């Protein structure tokens, strides 16, 4: 059982812990990113983007393969063309890969929403009356600059 908001980790994106809204009304999970820039690497489509500040760390650049580019309705119901990447989600003691659309959520309270597709088949019950029911274990990854994850490339930080 989890609450309507939970601490999660996206270690492949260098995010060891952040608050996420569990949104069963949303089909696709969405992460606030900035400066999204598609490019090609070895004949495959990739995207470079900044992930949000977490725990006082400045935003940092990440590169990831694009799983798909598709039209997704924003919170106002207006369709937007978005890049979707696949990344590891840590929720409590559990880890699995989810699809995450890269979006502009700057005006939203949460930089990340976890949609119902990410929860489907996981035997998870969402209690809308509670928050932070799951205990996020410490990320197994050290600092983003110290790791290499196949398929996802952190970019060296420059003076920010």
Joined tokens for residue 82: 């978005």
pTM above 0.85, yes or no: no
Average pLDDT over residues 130-155: 59
Supply the CATH number for residue 81's domain: 2.40.70.10
Say how many CA atoms lie within 13 Å of 26 toward its Cβ: 22
Joined tokens for residue 124: 């998870």
Total structural domains within the chain: 1
Q: Could you report the per-residue pLDDT of 4-57, keeping only the tens digit for each?
A: 999 999 999 989 889 999 999 999 999 999 999 999 999 999 999 999 877 667
Domain assignment present for 150: no
Name the DSSP class of 130: -
Domain assignment present for 6: yes
Length of the chain: 160
Range with the lowest mean pLDDT among 29-33, 55-59, 106-110, 143-147?
143-147
Asked if 112 and 18 count as a contact pair (C-beta separation under 8 A), the reply is yes
């Amino acid at each position: 059982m989890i609450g309507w908001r939970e601490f999660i980790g996206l270690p492949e994106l260098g995010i060891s812990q952040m608050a996420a809204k569990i949104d069963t009304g949303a089909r696709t999970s969405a992460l606030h990113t900035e400066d999204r820039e598609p490019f090609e690497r070895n004949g495959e489509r990739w995207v470079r983007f900044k992930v949000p500040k977490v725990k006082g760390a400045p935003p940092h650049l990440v590169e990831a393969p694009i799983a798909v580019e598709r039209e997704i309705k924003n919170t106002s119901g207006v369709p937007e063309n978005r890049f979707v990447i696949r990344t590891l989600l840590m929720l409590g003691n559990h880890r699995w890969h989810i699809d995450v659309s890269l979006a502009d959520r700057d005006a939203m309270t949460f930089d990340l929403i976890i949609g119902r597709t990410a929860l489907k088949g996981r035997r998870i019950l969402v209690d809308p009356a509670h928050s932070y029911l799951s205990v996020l274990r410490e990320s197994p990854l050290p600092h983003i600059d110290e790791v290499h994850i196949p398929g996802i490339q952190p970019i060296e930080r420059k003076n920010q």
